[in-house]
Each structure stands twice: as structure tokens, then as C-alpha cells.
Structure 1
């Protein structure tokens, strides 16, 4: 399929999901997000003041918003499919937002472990508990436009984390076997957070598994290339990601059995991303393992000394159909593609529409 035709397909799909009524909240919908840079809509910038410069944000926002992409992330596209506002980072003190449609606790670099290091998954949970308690306190005093107890119960709780746990383990020169032995501890942290949220009244969960770690241009640049597969990705890294995902799927099945009145949807992001990377040309993308914003030229255009936004970087032309934006994160075009696949329900277990939590 040519680039022009695929662009038209994506446009039609997004338009039909967002505006045809097939997807969208018919009652107040709130979304709370816990995760890492794949879902961070500005948490690192607002929480630590960390500079995230243009060309990040150039495509949609026309300015840097703290997102590590040229435009919208998957969570942005998902929110727009519901016709609700884009999520504001919990730590953004100057947003002027009442957080009536939820809040984003995801922060760049976050992982499940170590447990009490900002902004680990457990810290994000603690922030949410503070946010909820304070919101309910203000509601009792008559404050308006805040989420009440029913709103928290009916909200969607989206969890997308694990990539950094695996990447960090490999970066410490641990063997494949040593990395794999750590996976149960990562899964336990996710289980603890889901159960804690459940005990707080949450009943609707949306869990993304992790993507093909071994296909990230950054890791392909710095990791030993002794086990590249036929697509040019690191076999051991992808194998570890698949084992993490199998454990996460098993956890999802276990939690559905234990938490009888809860809905927990597991989404196979790995399969979607791998399909995009390995069939890039079919979907109108080019150079699936090459960075749009980076330095160094082929094959990856990634250099740890000159990353996107750092003086000396080079960036592809706007409108280019790249998959990778900066070596770790995806372009808006790739995020839009992935979102259409998520909304199709074909990669969800059980097959559940994304707007299930906010429709009568």
C-alpha cells in the first residue's frame, strides 16, 4: 500500500472513530494513566523542569509540550477518540486544569522497580491516592468541576509500563537469564498497583503490554549486535519482552478471575508495533529502524552524544513517514497507526471497545 493511500486510510479510520459515534463517551469519562515516556504528556518537564525542546511537538502542537514525539502520543489519540480533552500531567502546576477528565501520572524514565524512586509505578500510585483524597475533600466543601467518588469508581485506569525495567536490566550487562529472572518482580509491582486501585474502588482497567524492545534504534546502536534477527532487531531483547508480556497476560487472566466485578483489558501492543516495523512499506512507512530526529545517518541515525533537540541534531522533513522519532519513541504517524489498531479491538483480550467505561 502506498504512502498516500495509507495516509488516507488512517485519516478515514481516525475520523470514523472520533466523529461517527462508533467510539465516544455518552457520559462523563475520566482516564487515569500510569506509565513511562510512551504515555508522558509533560510530566517530566513539569515535575523536574527537564528541558524538552523543539522539534518535539512540531507536527501537531507546533511547540514543545513535554511529549517525546513530533506530535501526539497514543494516549492523546485515544482521548480524542472519546471526544475528551487531552490529559494534563498531575505535576503541571500551571495548567489551570481542573482534571475533570482525569490525570496523567506517567513520567519519562519510569519503571516498576526500584519501588520508591521518583517516578516509579509505586510513586505514581501514591500520587494518585493523594490526588483522589484531596479531590474528594474539596468536593465535600462544595468545589465544582472536580471528580467525585462516583467519577473515580467509573474512571478508566490505564497502565503502560515495563519497557524501562527490561532496558535498564540489559544496560547493567546482566545476562539474558538474569534479566528474565527479574520479570516476576516487575509483574508483582503491576499486580500490587492494580489491587490497590481496586481496593480504592477502581473497576475498569486497560493494560498495555510492552513493545519489541530489540527494535528500538537507540538500543540497536549501543547494544552488542550478536543476535540480530531477520528484521534487524535484537533477538534476546525481544525474547525478554515477549516473556514479560506472557507473564503480564497471565496476571491479567488471574486478576479477572479474582476481581469478579472488575473489567481488565489486556492489549497486545507488541504485536501491533512489530507488525508496523516488519511491514513498514506495506503501511506507507519507510526506514522502520532509522530515527527521524537524531544524528549519524544510516543505518540508525542515532548518536548518544547528539540526540533529538541537542545542538547538532538532524531531523527528517515534516510529513516523512518514519516509525521512530528519536530512537526510543515513535512519531505521531506511527502513534496514529497503533491507535487505530487498538481501537479495532483485534489486539484486546477480552475484545472490548475502548469507550466501554463511559457508555451506558
Structure 2
């Protein structure tokens, strides 16, 4: 027979464990504002879809990419570690990483909590994805339709509708359009000036967002263009190899012009699409703040990437043979000449979640 004191001891332990478990469960449930997170766009949020494209040069599933990722594995993420979509699902309490839709190891539960359809090298301009053989936004929507069919088989019609109407959708594009297709290759300059080209991009973005809405998405985060003139590759292609302290203002003006127009279009769509909640997120100014005041955020080098020389290497040019790759990526704002480091992405997402109040703006 147990003594009363011993019995009471285990009673209080049980109550404590139950209360703590319940509180932890409530906290986790409170973090899950969205049942799933689904992303579309370019290399910023591509966790490895391009690994499965035979002809594409826009790949990063080889060292030194992924050097600081879990297990030091190059997954196809265009960074030394995690990318924004990973940090977002982690901070929302959904899961640790947002997987690529084309990952052959996806499980049913992965589909239920969201995936990324993004493809490095894509953009709002259909020509952009053609140039590097990436998955166009149009084809990303086709994959999304296929995904909806899989959801219905796994979870049924009702739960699928809940995932679509209450899930968080993110769209990140335009950098490749403006920096690569318009400025660096000059291809679109034969048809447009920067004012008419940004109009064209916004029309394309609007069409995509309306089609996404038509497939059931209701909460959509639309991200603007970053300060493209501050990318190390932009400085290189604009002839700023020797003097790299300043950003290329022409590129930055185009990024601001596009973002202003896209923000206005998002407002217009909100007024015309029933039950829709589209939110524009400015990433230009937060990233520019990091670049202009790097010491505040712990960065030492902002004018070139960590990989190789840091002024030209990206994708296949950033590889195991890249000479002089830095040893401490966290002191660099850019990983290669085009993509930020994991540390930069971590700070940016923290800014979006706290200062920009991502969750609250979808309430």
C-alpha cells in the first residue's frame, strides 16, 4: 500500500505534466494561424524543384551550396543554408522546412502542410523562365492544380477547401525579369522601356494572382522587388567591378517602380476579388537597410558574395572548384553574386514576421 505522501506526489506531478502539455499544445496551436504554407516564384523560395529539370542551368544541388544546411547537404536551395520559406513555416510553428513539390520523397503529411512550387530562374515574364529552362509561373500553377487533386485524395474535399481558403500563399518573383532579362541581357529593351516593361510585369503578376484566386487561394502574400542594384552581380554587369561601394541606381529605380505599381495592383485586386486577402510586402527597404548599415546586423562584407570571388559566381558557376570561397558565410550578406546568405534571410523573415506583422495583416 502506497503512503499518502507518495500518492499525492505523483498526483501533483501528473497535474503539472498535464497542464504544461496542454499549455504547450495551446501555444503551438496558437502559432498555427495557417494550416499550410504554399509558395510560388523564383530561386528565393525554390527548395529544390530545379533539381529535377534535365536541361536547366539554374541549379544548386552541389557544394558549396547547402554548406551550412542541416547535415551540410546541398538540397537545391540557392543559399548556404535555409531560405525564406523555411524560416516562415518554422516561425509559424507548422514544420521545420518547406519542401519542394517535385521532391520524390514527399509524404502525404508534407502535402497537407504545404509545399513550394518555386523554380530558380523564373519570373512574371514568360521569356524569363525560357532563357534558363526553369518552371514558368504558368507551369507552377499547373503543378498546383495537380497538388489540389492529390489533397482531395488524401484529405477529402472539405479539408482541401480549408487548406486553400485558410492557408498562406506566397509569391516571390520579378528579380530575374528586371535584373537579368531587361538589364543584363537587354533582350526586352528591344520592345519596352522600363516604364512599359514594369507595366507588362504587373499585368502578368495580376493575371497570375487572379488565376491563383480562381483555384481557391484566398490569403496571398505578394512580395515586391529587392534593391536589385545592390546585388554583386548587378554591379558586375553594370560595369562597377572596380568601384563596388555604391549600388547601381538604374536597377534600384526599376525595382522601386515595379514594386509601387505592384502594390497598387494588389490594392485593386483586393477591392474586386470577393473574400480575398492579398497583402503586399515591401522587401526593398528592409534589405537596403541591411546593406547601408551592415554593422548593425553583424555583417562585414556586402559588396560581394561568399562563394569564390563573389562578383560573378552563381548557380553552376558557384561550385566545388570556386576558388577562395569564404569560411564564415554569416559575416557576408550575400552567399553568391545573386542570392543572400542564410543569415540575411533569417533577419529578413524576422523583420517580416515582427515589424511587418505578417500574421496580423491576414487576420
Verify the 8 A CA contact 2:46 2:100 in the aligned structure 1: yes
Distance, in Å, in 2 between the alignment partners of 1:257 and 1:96 is 38
1:166 match: 178
Counterpart in 1 of 2:63? 54
Deviation at residue 114 of structure 1 after TM alignment = 1.5
Give the Å deviation of 1:125: 1.2
Aligned to 2:103: 92
Of 142, 145, 158, the match for 1:129 = 145
Deviation at 1:108, TM superposition (A): 0.5
1:267-282 superposed matches below 5 A: 267-282=281-296
Secondary structure of the residue aligned to 1:289 is: strand
1:311 corresponds to 2:326: no
- Which residue, out of 347, 353, 360, partners 2:358? 353
Q: 1:356 to 1:29 in 2, by over 3 A?
A: farther
Greater CA drift, 237-246 or 337-346: 337-346
Q: Report 1:1-360 matches (<5 A).
A: 25-26=31-32, 29-48=35-54, 50=59, 52-61=61-70, 62-85=72-95, 86-96=97-107, 98=109, 99-114=111-126, 117=130, 118-140=134-156, 148-167=160-179, 168-173=181-186, 174=189, 178-225=193-240, 232-295=246-309, 301-302=311-312, 307-318=317-328, 320-346=330-356, 352-354=357-359
TM-score when normalising by structure 2: 0.80
Shift of 1:75: 1.2
Deviation of residue 312 (structure 1)?
3.5
Bigger shift: 92-101 or 122-131?
92-101
Mapped to 1, the partners of 2:108 and 2:149 lie a distance apart of 17
Q: 1:178 to 1:23 in 2, by over 3 A?
A: farther
Cα shift at 1:278 = 0.8
Calculate the aligned-residue CA RMSD, in Å.
Answer: 3.0
The DSSP-based 3-state class of the residue aligned with 2:43 is coil
| Equivalent position SS for 1:315 | coil
For 1:132-151, what per-residue CA distance to the aligned partner results, in whole angstroms no more than 9, with x for missing partners?
1343245459xxxx962222
Structure with greater proportional helix content:
2
CA separation of 1:314 and 1:259: change in aligned 2, threshold 3 A: same
Distance apart, 1:302 and its partner CA: 3.5
Aligned to 2:21: none
What SS class does the counterpart of residue 132 from structure 1 fall into? helix
CA deviation vs aligned residue, 1:199-226 (integer Å, no higher than 9, x gap): 2222111111110111110121122349
- List runs of 5+ in structure 2 lacking aligned partners: 1-24
TM-score, length of structure 1 as denominator length: 0.81
For structure 1, the residue ranges without an aligned partner over 5 or more in a row are 1-18, 347-351
Q: Show CA shifts across 1:298-349 (max 9, x none).
A: xx54457983214133221236411000010011111111111101234xxx
Greater CA deviation, 68-77 or 126-135?
126-135
Deviations 1:131-190 (A, max 9, x none): 11343245459xxxx962222221111011111111211123338972332111211121
Q: Secondary structure at the match of 1:290?
A: strand
Single out whichever of 302-311 and 146-155 deviates more from structure 2: 302-311
Inter-partner Cα distance in structure 2 for 1:304 and 1:339: 22
> Take 1:29 and 1:153, find their aligned partners in 2: how far apart are those partners?
10
Would you say the 8 A contact 2:305–2:336 is kept in 1?
A: yes
Aligned residue-pair number: 325
- Greater shift in the superposed pair: 93-102 or 23-32: 23-32
| CA distance 1:127–1:326, shift in 2 (3 Å) | same
Higher-Rg structure is 2
2:34 & 2:250 partners in 1: Cα distance? 44
